[in-house]
Structure 1
Amino acid sequence: MTRVFIGSEALAAGRVNRYQLANTYQRLFPDVYAPRGELTLLDRTTAAWLWSGRHAVVTGSAAAALHGARWIDPNIPIELNFSNNRSPRGIVTRRETLLASELTSHGGLPVTTVGRTAFDLARRGPSRRGIAELDALANATHFSAVDVVAIADAHPRLRGVGRVSSMLDALDAGAQSPQETYLRLDLINAGFPRPHTQIPITRPCGRWYYLDMGWPDLRVAVEYDGEHHRTSRTAYTVDVDRQDYLGSVGWVVVRVLADHRRSDVISRVRRAWDIQSQRVAS
């Protein structure tokens, strides 16, 4: 039996009995069950589609995850294009026009195409989160912004369509985490020029270092250090060697941790910017 299933179908087929359904499995949505334990986003997306009677199309963030976007919260509500406005908790339904060219499938699940998914992410929800999800989708698929604009032109009356262009202008496929996206946006909002991302720096051995973001003309970089940089001794050792080398070739690297205050980060970057600007000018 598949991991996520419709309870009434499994009962009718004799694959489970009512005792097993009540005690071995967990109910995700009305008449939709899965084994007890932790669920993946794919489990929950499949369950939502089964709840729709296999009629809905997966959209939004769940669609982005199906297309390979990383860093999507596994506990997000599953968005479906489906004509039922009384969805259970954990499912959001909308009934919007989807053209045939905006539909595809992934692993047997009907889902909006990458372009349509990007269009929906760009017009819904808080802009910062939307840009982070667009970054993740672009990182995974390298979709064309031109294609997304064409979809927007085909649906001029849909809610949020007016902000699609600005959201696409803000995305960057070089972001390697939502935290990097938010850091980039903070720098831009503080008045810095838009930084380059994934800046390649040659190493003596013929390999490369890649800097999260920065300004190559000034040799100023800003990097977000995830938790593994502090908990892994190997990562820490590599970071020390990397930092020493980058300093030796003239780069100033501002390292940012999760518990650093935004104002302090901006001040540190501004100091590095001023120092390097003076160096270039002299």
Structure 2
Amino acid sequence: MSFPPFFSGLPFTGRQAGKKLKWLLSVGEIRQLLADVYVATDTIDSPELRSAAAALVLPEGTIACGQLAAWIHGIDTTALGPKPPRAQWTREAADIVQVFGVPVISPIATGVELAMELPRPFALSAVDALLRSGKADRWAIRAASAEYEGKRGIHQARQILHYADRRAASPGESWLRLRMIDAGFGRPDLQTRIKGHTREYRIDVAYPDPVDNRRLGLEYDSDRWHSHQREQARDEVRRTELEALGWHIISVRRTDLWGSYPSLELAVGAFLCVWPKLPRRW
């Protein structure tokens, strides 16, 4: 007995689903993986699943690259929402790996392409995530970028690869770091450990050089983990304890990073006694 593709646990195209596609999406039975590629909602994400989905959109004789390659390698390039990655491919690439039978440019080459092609904040968060995954080393990516000399985006790529850091624990922390660098405050320290009286603290982004005997820490509070009242109360207690240890903590939310008013830069500049570079670049 043959089952419809949406009951098989394998990815399928909208054409294979036929007239039931809209209904299956409306009732939450399936979710989208790529443009016109879907899978049953309860199917567990895996490299095998992503490779099988990519195989449905890759023309014969092509190699997955760009954001599609990043997605197959498990690297998030959008970070602001569940928008499926663009299906990108090439017919020529020097550095190729096979991922469950699908030809994909290597993680190192993927890092260079992301640094070149994505908007700056997403380029940095994607390369940070790639480094954090352990699938590519920053020095290897920087060395590989020499082969792209003269191509569009290489100037941005060199800058992004200079700033990239595997210690950034989330896209928000990457964006926050880029905000500070763009404002002219210099490269901050990441995941700074502070020894308290009864426990050790870790600050996302820090400027540890004292200003009037106090140090500056910035913490990205994501909507997912810092929205509920109990979580906010816990954060407040933590900030009070760090204040007692000589740290001034600024809590940063997504709206602080993506809004148009430079309140974040002005607050940091006021503490560091440095006038920020304005206007904001993004």
TM-score normalised by L of structure 1: 0.72
How much does 1:142 deviate?
6.5
Q: Is the contact between residue 61 and residue 133 of structure 1 (CA under 8 Å) also seen in structure 2?
A: no
Q: 1:195 to 1:228 in 2, by over 3 A?
A: same
Q: Which residue of 1 aligns with 2:195?
A: 202
Give 1:231's match in structure 2, choosing from 227, 240, 245.
227
Q: Is the contact between residue 57 and residue 87 of structure 2 (CA under 8 Å) also seen in structure 1?
A: no
How much does 1:254 deviate?
1.0
Q: Is the contact between residue 64 and residue 114 of structure 1 (CA under 8 Å) also seen in structure 2?
A: yes
Q: Which residue of 2 aligns with 1:269?
A: 268
Q: 1:251 to 1:197 in 2, by over 3 A?
A: same
Given residue 68 of structure 2, which amino acid in structure 1 is its aligned partner? A
Long gaps (5+) in structure 2: 1-7, 275-282
Give 1:251's match in structure 2, choosing from 247, 253, 266.
247
The answer as to 2:112 corresponding to 1:119 is yes
Give 2:88's match in structure 1, choosing from 80, 83, 87.
80
Q: 1:162 to 1:183 in 2, by over 3 A?
A: closer
Q: 1:106 to 1:237 in 2, by over 3 A?
A: farther
Alignment of 1:39-50 (within 5 A): 46-50=52-56
- Helix, strand or coil for the counterpart of 2:136? coil
- CA-atom RMSD, angstroms? 3.5
Given residue 117 of structure 1, which amino acid in structure 2 is its aligned partner? T
The answer as to 2:93 corresponding to 1:98 is yes
- CA deviations on 1:131-187 (whole Å, 9 max, x unpaired) are 221122122227323312332233445443344322201222222333322222222
The farther-off stretch of 158-167 and 130-139 is: 158-167
Q: Which residue of 2 aligns with 1:90?
A: none
- CA deviations on 1:22-45 (whole Å, 9 max, x unpaired) are 43678989xx76457699797676
CA distance in 2, matches of 1:107, 1:210: 38
Q: Is the contact between residue 211 and residue 223 of structure 1 (CA under 8 Å) also seen in structure 2?
A: yes
Given residue 209 of structure 1, which amino acid in structure 2 is its aligned partner? Y
Q: Which residue of 2 aligns with 1:23?
A: 20
Q: Is the contact between residue 51 and residue 72 of structure 2 (CA under 8 Å) also seen in structure 1?
A: no
CA distance in 2, matches of 1:186, 1:33: 36
Q: Which residue of 1 aligns with 2:176?
A: 183
Q: Is the contact between residue 70 and residue 110 of structure 2 (CA under 8 Å) also seen in structure 1?
A: yes
How much does 1:6 deviate?
6.6
The answer as to 2:218 corresponding to 1:222 is yes
- Helix, strand or coil for the counterpart of 1:216? strand
Long gaps (5+) in structure 1: 9-17, 83-94, 276-282
Q: Which residue of 1 aligns with 2:68?
A: 62
- Helix, strand or coil for the counterpart of 1:78? coil
CA distance in 2, matches of 1:259, 1:159: 31
Given residue 253 of structure 1, which amino acid in structure 2 is its aligned partner? I
Bigger Rg over Cα: 1
Q: 1:239 to 1:50 in 2, by over 3 A?
A: same
The number of aligned residues is 247
The farther-off stretch of 162-171 and 53-62 is: 53-62
The answer as to 2:237 corresponding to 1:241 is yes
Given residue 272 of structure 1, which amino acid in structure 2 is its aligned partner? F
